[in-house]
Amino acid sequence: MSTAMFGSGIRRREDPRLITGAASYTDDLTLPGMLHAAMLRSPHAHARIGAIDASRAKSARGVVAVYTSADTEGALQPSPCAWLLPDSDLKIAEYPCLAKDTVRYVGEIVAVVVAESRYQAYDALELIDVDYDPLPAAIDLEQAGGPDAPRLHAEIEGNQAFHWTVSGGDVDAAFANADVIVKERILQQRLIPTAMETRSAVASYTRASGELTLWNTTQNPHIVRFLCSLVTGVPEDRLRVVAPEVGGGFGSKIAVYPADFVTVFCAMKLGSPVKWTETRSENYQATTHGRNHVQDVELAATNDGRITGIRATVRAGMGAYLSTAAPGIPTILHGLMLSGVYDIPAIHEEVYGLYTNETPVEAYRGAGRPEATFMLERLVDVLADKLDMDPAEVRRKNFIPKFDDGHDVATGLTYDSGDYEQALDKLLRHADYAGLRAEQEEARQQGRYPGIGLSTYVEICGLGPSQVAGAIGFQGGLWESAIVRFHPSGKVHVFIGASPHGQGEETTFAQIVAAELGVSPEDVKVVHGDTDNTPMGWGTYGSRTTAVGGAALALTARKIREKCKVIAAHLLEAAVEDMEYEDGNFFVKGSPDNGKTIQDIALMANVSWNMPEGVESGLEASTFYDPPNFVFPYGAHLALVEVDAETGQVELKRYIALDDCGPQINPTIVAGQVHGGVVQGIGQALWEEAVYDEDGQLLSGSMLDYALPRADKLPEIEVLSTVTPSPHHPLGVKGIGEAGTIASTAAVYNAVMDALKPLNAPAVDMPFTPERVWRAIQKGKGN
Amino acid sequence: MFAPEFSYHRASSIAEAGRLLAEHPGAKVLAGGHSLIPILKLRLAAPAVVIDIGRIPEMKGIAAGNGTVTIGALTTHAELASSEIVRANARALAEAAAQIGDPAVRNRGTIGGNVAHADPASDLPQALVALGATFRLTSPEGARSVAAEDFFEGLMTTSLREDELLTSIELPAAGPGRGSAYAKLAHPASRYAVIGAAASVTVAGGKCTAASVVLGGLTSRPTRAPSVEASLVGQTPSEAVIAAAAKNAAGDLGDDLMGDIYASEEYRKAVAHVWVRRALAAAAARCAG
Amino acid sequence: MTIPVSIAINGRRYDREVEPRLLLVHFIRDTLGLTGTKVGCDTSQCGACTVLLDGAAVKSCTCLAVQADGAEITTIEGLADDGGLHPLQESFWNKHGLQCGFCTPGMILAAHEILRTNPDPSDEEIRHGLEGNFCRCTGYQNIVRAVRDAVQEETS
């Protein structure tokens, strides 16, 4: 096997267990004597809790226990927020694991039933009587911060969780001197991440040893161990967290959740293993949501289309409590990206994080960056329209010129590398952009309404340097770790702290090792997800696992190689300086046929019969890699739609994605990430929306109402790429997990608005339901 | 989701089902389960007794003869959609069945369960009314026939009595020059009908001699569109005539429309004619052949 | 109240006493421990629980175990003979038709249903045939390719 493994689209080693039903997800686990928990959830968005009478439930068949907040007093600390945004007047409301005297969103946990079966546990939920005294709810984001809004937390004025500002350059001057100013109010609707696997926890506690094992649907088991220890008091060395097979996360499995801690509490209290798995309806109510911004944004520009400034005020709905990483999403991951791919000298944004009586909001694929990209990409199109310029031309005019080792933008970030114009040019060539515009003109003559939408983006990922993490208030590091262990037979074990859950890193990481050490990827096993047998790591989110964990792994493999070279020199009785390495073979310069294979050396290192002086036995190395900077993947996307002006229905006809994530370790997996990401972004533009009524009831509370993308509504996604290595990364790679989502919502949105242009329709809030489009068309007609 | 407890009886004949229904007032009837089981899982119903009629052989099968097509109440949506008899005689029904849910749902859900449940967002009721179907209902006291139009009384209510079982559905066989079709705006999540339009048209000598147009999805029960029908009869069913006739649909719908967060009453009323037009055009095109 | 049922799953007969309210999917997963079949929703939308009942795809979350009494069920664990891979499993693997894998058992059985009723489907027919199965990872693209690929393998 050779270094050709890097860049090969080999099929995934994860798949055999997944396609045969052999994989084990959390809910698939059964332990002897296991009991089942069910959560009693608030039916009210905001209410005082009076008496809770669980006596009927406690005596129901199969019920073992019912607990309320009074039972967990002292045993469970509040569920923590771990992103303490600096300089923002951050006010964290206490988030009790079981509601104490007030419930603040529909779905908040009021009590837990533990029973011998799930059926019995759900039967008993109906037997708990709770006196609620309903209170008015704060739902509307535009009013939640106002003086008349119901207050969620007594001590927090104006429901304001934080006020955060990013500023660079002289924005006031930019707007004072602008030839043109364009403004938009943009609603980034609430979305429900909808990983196909709902959340689940199995907790098992051994009283004799004080040891707790928690199997959990999480993207970051080591963070869960850290925070679970703080909340439950179980020391970290007695606490094992396992993320078994995890069925997607998309950000919703980053946070730690009250239900998991309650499950742990039940297992500790009862001394029996306890399983809790949410239903999909519970998932929609209680697992974190995403997006939820009201954005007021304006762009200053010259008459020839040069952007001179951007100014924005964003109200970000946080829900009833601050979820684990929530404060960083609409701020750090959003506001710092407001320059996008453009050279914008002056930027100013104010973000108000507001508590509302809704499900907490967290990261959702893209997390802050789609919201930033959308603002910019929409405004660029509005500017193009105002100046009667082609949207591609306005973009080209404002691109940051090609750079390969650092470019500073006004928000204070230093991008690593990029050639944005090349990306757009390649996209437009592939699409035959001029041809599409000509066809559009022709179709319009025939009374049809096709639209072409562009979106060019850059994103920040590979989070990130730990020093920066500290500076931005993230209560953890952001490095990753890897251990590479060679066995005597030449097989390799890799242990990583990150926790992939569908992204395929068991395969790509094996390819990295294969490329670095010249072994077959078949001989490399990648272990992750169990805090007892993997080194510390901060998890899989923010497109960071390959970018940060992959670097840790590559550097570890290189340490192995260096050690092998020393042993090989000893065995070949040559000087280390005279040794050469090629594809797993170590040899004296000029004698490749008389070398030692890495497997030979692994055997010797393990048996250690004949080692060079001062060299330790065994063949194992580890690295804790803290990246010097973030990585900045980018790209250009094009969507082609057609609007039925009679009904308002939108059909997505074609979608082309060009993404640059640097060198691709496995192009098949990269394309798969693009497909999935693009479709989630399309979902936001066309179908998905979490809707609450004014009382705080979630109207889109099941898959009957919340419209997910389906196979029959999508075209084949055309995938293109360019390759711009990151200058600071050992492999040059950037991330790709979120890229598609970051770009595609704006591309589809712009395409629909482009289609509606001849109809004079005003801007439409997402998603583009037929009715919304139809109403905009009626308005355009003056109806 | 976890259904509440109930006791279960399986009927092996219509007679046995009738006896069980008489013995257990308030019992729910289980056919394919695609209407009842979701309700049980959501605990929207908690019947003490469920009577499973899913295996009664007399209630299965599709047959044609004497100018009538007889469809057993246990016929699945998949069977309706693929039946040559149904496609040849009642294309609107086959098309409506083919657009219910998804393949796995269509493999289990039955015509009898669907119409007895009378969900206003369902597809089959409007097709059956447009096609002039008759429902055969039996009880220990005997059997009776009810026209589809009279069967659906309102939101999830029918003329089916608690002791009665819907056993079969009869349709007039297609005569010469008759065609039918079904067109639907599906909800993007549930796939239920936001607007469902069924049309049956007869053409003789180039003129429309009879038309039956029924809308569902947007009213509490299937709603006939008499002005649409009237403006077609006697006319040559050209594209323009059909479009003009379809425009009358809004007036026929009245003011008691249903709306939701996806599509308001106003929107549904304003655009319903588009699906009426599509159904009519497809039905008319089939009249020749 | 419990009812005796006899259900053959993947060629093996299981005789059990079950509560009438027990869903087929819980019978398969919890009573028998065959956890390849998944639950992804509670409203019959997502298709993760798809199994074959007497050869045809059904949603096992919308079927009572008592309704399946006497039936032959095939789950993902029993799709292939002799512990090998069914051509659809092979094509899902070859075409990267899965990521997190949670929807995959149901998706493969939904694909099986497409080919059972239409041995040579177009891409559009494949997409239509997958309308009752959600995947949140792949954007469906490689799933469609996998089904197409399985058709080509069969016909070549």
Instruction: Quote the tokens at residue A683.
Output: 């979902």
Report which secondary-structure segment, H or E, holds B78.
helix B77-82
Q: Cβ contacts (< 8 Å) between B270 and chain A: which residues?
A: 774
| Pairing verdict, β A524-527 and A492-496 | parallel
Count of B-C CB contacts under 8 Å: 84
- Is B72:B33 a contact under the CB 8 Å cutoff? no
Give the total residue count for chain B.
289
Chain A closest CA to C70's CA: distance in Å?
Answer: 24
Res C156: pLDDT: 66
Domain locations along chain A: 3-20+479-625, 31-135+196-248+253-286, 290-463+629-780
Q: CB–CB of A21 and C46 under 8 A?
A: no
Distance of residue A709 Cα from the nearest chain B Cα, in angstroms = 9
d(CA A638, CA A424): 9
Report the residue of chain C nearest B34, measured CA to CA. Answer: C62
- Sign of the torsion formed by the C-alpha atoms of C27, A243, A631 and A292: positive
Which residue, A690, A703, A765, is CA-closest to A288?
A690
Q: Do A648 and B271 touch (CB under 8 A)?
A: yes
Mean pLDDT of chain C: 96
Contact C129 B40 (CB under 8 A): no
Residues in chain A closer than 8 A to C28 (CB atoms)? none
**pLDDT for the residue C154:** 73
CATH code where residue C62 lies: 3.10.20.30
Closest CA in chain B for residue C134: B189
| Cα A85 to Cα B81: distance, rounded to the nearest angstrom | 58
- Per DSSP bridges, beta strands B7-10 and B49-52 are parallel
Q: What is the pLDDT of residue B1?
A: 82
Angle at B57 between CA B56 and CA B62, to 5 degrees: 120
Any residues with CB less than 8 A from the CB of A260 and at least 6 apart, and which? A199, A201, A214, A216, A224, A228, A276
A706: nearest CB among B185, B189, B267: B189
Query: From CA A313, how far away is CA A142, in angstroms rounded?
Result: 12
Total domains in the fold of chain C: 2
Cα separation of B132 and B147, whole Å?
Answer: 7
Chain C closest-CA separation from residue A302 CA (Å): 40
- Whether pLDDT at B289 is above 60: no
Closest partner residue to A687 (CB to CB) among B4, B188, B270 is: B188
pLDDT of residue C82: 81
Sheet with B165-172, side-by-side order of all strands: B62-65, B68-72, B165-172, B134-139, B142-147
Q: Let me know: does A75 contact A96? Beta carbons within 8 Å.
A: no
Residues forming a β-bridge with A449:
A643
Strands A35-41 and A63-68: unpaired
| Domain housing C56 | 3-78
What CATH number has the domain bearing residue C139?
Answer: 1.10.150.120
- CATH for A31-135+196-248+253-286, options being 3.40.50.300, 3.30.160.340, 3.40.50.10490, 3.90.1170.50: 3.90.1170.50
Chain B residues with beta carbon closer than 8 angstroms to that of C132? 101-105
Which residues in chain A come in under a pLDDT of 50? Answer: 1-2
Q: Which residues of A touch B274 (CB under 8 A)?
A: 646-647
**Other beta carbons within 10 Å of A638:** 28
Kindly list the residues from chain B whose CB atom is less than 8 angstroms away from the CB atom of residue A279.
Answer: 1
* Centroid of chain to Cα A28: 25
Domains and CATH numbers, chain B: 7-52 (3.30.43.10), 62-172 (3.30.465.10), 179-287 (3.30.390.50)
Architecture of domain A3-20+479-625: 2-Layer Sandwich (3.30)
**DSSP H/E element including B231:** helix B226-232
Q: Is the ipTM of this complex over 0.90?
A: yes
φ, ψ of residue A629 to 5 degrees: the values are -155, 170
What is the rounded CA–CA span in Å between residue A176 and residue A494? Answer: 58
Buried b (16+ CB within 10 A) or exposed e, A305-315: bbbbbbbbebb
A28/C29 CB distance under 8 A? yes
Where residue C83 falls among pLDDT bands split at 50, 70, 90?
confident
Rounded to the nearest 5°, which phi and psi values hold at C34? -90, 90
* B78 in reach of chain C (CB within 8 A): yes
Domain identity same for C9 and C58: yes
Domain shared by C19 and C74, yes or no: yes
If DSSP codes are grouped into helix, strand and coil, which group holds residue C82?
A: coil
Residues C7 and C74 in one domain: yes
Complete DSSP assignment for B90-139: -HHHHHHHHTSS-HHHHHH-BHHHHHHHT-TT-SHHHHHHHTT-EEEEEE
Contact list in C for residue A248 (CB cut-off 8 A) is: 99-100, 102, 136-137
Chain C closest-CA separation from residue B252 CA (Å): 33
Helix or strand holding residue A751 (H, E): helix A739-756
Distance, in Å, from the CA atom of A629 to the CA atom of A463, rounded to the nearest integer, reads: 8
Q: Distance from B190 to chain A by nearest Cα, in Å?
A: 4
Residues B32-48 have pLDDT tens digits of 999 999 999 999 999 99
- Based on the domain organization, do C110 and C143 belong to the same domain? yes
User: What residues 39-58 of chain C have any CB closer than 8 A to a CB of chain A?
Assistant: 39-43, 45-46, 48
Residues C99 and C141 in one domain: yes
Tell me how close the Cα of B59 comes to any Cα of chain A, in angstroms.
Answer: 30
Question: Would you call B30 and C133 a contact, using CB atoms and an 8 Å cutoff?
Answer: no
Q: Which residues of chain A have a CB within 8 Å of the CB of C130?
A: 710-712
CA-to-CA distance for A379 and A394, rounded, in angstroms?
11
Interchain CB distance below 8 Å, A705 and B190: yes
Produce one character per residue of A127-150: b if its CB has 16 or more CB atoms within 10 Å, e if not. Answer: bbebebeebebbbebebbbeeebb
Residue in B closest to A122 by C-alpha:
B2
**Cα–Cα distance measured from residue A515 to residue C128, given in angstroms and rounded to the nearest whole number:** 41
Instruction: Give the minimum alpha-carbon distance from B108 to chain C in angstroms, rounded to a whole number.
Output: 7
% of chain B with per-residue pLDDT over 90: 97
Nearest CA to CA, how far is C116 from chain B (Å)?
11
- Strands (DSSP E) contained in chain B are 7-10, 28-30, 49-52, 62-65, 68-72, 134-139, 142-147, 152-154, 157-158, 165-172, 178-186, 193-204, 207-216, 223-224
CA distance B288 to C24: 47
Give the Cβ contact number of residue B68 at 10 Å.
Answer: 13
**Residue from B133, B123, B149 nearest B225 by CA:** B149
Element of type H or E holding A348 = strand A347-355
Q: Is B185 on the interface with A (CB under 8 A)?
A: yes
Counting Cβ atoms within 10 Å, is residue A488 exposed (0-12), middle (13-18) or buried (19+)?
middle
Task: State whether residue C116 sits within 8 Å of chain B by CB.
Answer: no
Please check whether residues C126 and C72 belong to one and the same domain. no
Find out whether A402 and A210 touch, Cβ atoms under 8 Å.
Answer: no
Structure tokens at B234: 């006697």
Residues of A with Cβ-Cβ distance to B187 under 8 angstroms: 707
CA distance A47 to A52: 13
CB count within 10 Å of CB A635 equals 30
The beta-carbon neighbor of C136 closest among A25, A194, A704 is: A194
Residue A53 token pair: 């009478």
Domain boundary (C78, C111, C138) is at C78
CA-to-CA distance for B233 and B251, rounded, in angstroms?
18
Query: Which amino acid is present at C49?
Result: C
The yes or no reply on domain A290-463+629-780 and CATH 3.30.365.10 is yes
For residue C85, which residues of chain A lie inside 8 Å, CB to CB? 16, 19-20
Pairing of strands C12-18, C3-9: antiparallel
Q: Is A43 exposed, middle or buried (0-12, 13-18, 19+ CB in 10 A)?
A: middle
A81: closest CA among A249, A370, A318, A290? A318
- Among C28, C59, C78, identify where a domain stops: C78
Report the alpha-carbon distance of residue B44 to residue A702 in Å, rounded. Answer: 15
Asked if domains A3-20+479-625 and A290-463+629-780 share a fold, the reply is yes
CB of B10 less than 8 A from some CB of C = yes
* Interface check B243 vs A, CB under 8 A: no
The alpha carbon of residue B6 is apart from the nearest alpha carbon of chain C, in Å, by 7
Cα-Cα-Cα-Cα torsion B70, B73, B79, B84, nearest 10 degrees, comes to 10
Which of C48, C78, C108 lies at the terminal end of a domain, its last residue?
C78
Identify residues of A whose CB sits under 8 angstroms from chain B CBs.
118-119, 122-123, 126, 279, 281, 646-648, 687, 691, 699-700, 703-708, 710, 713, 769-771, 774-775
**C61 backbone dihedrals φ, ψ, rounded to 5°:** -85, -10
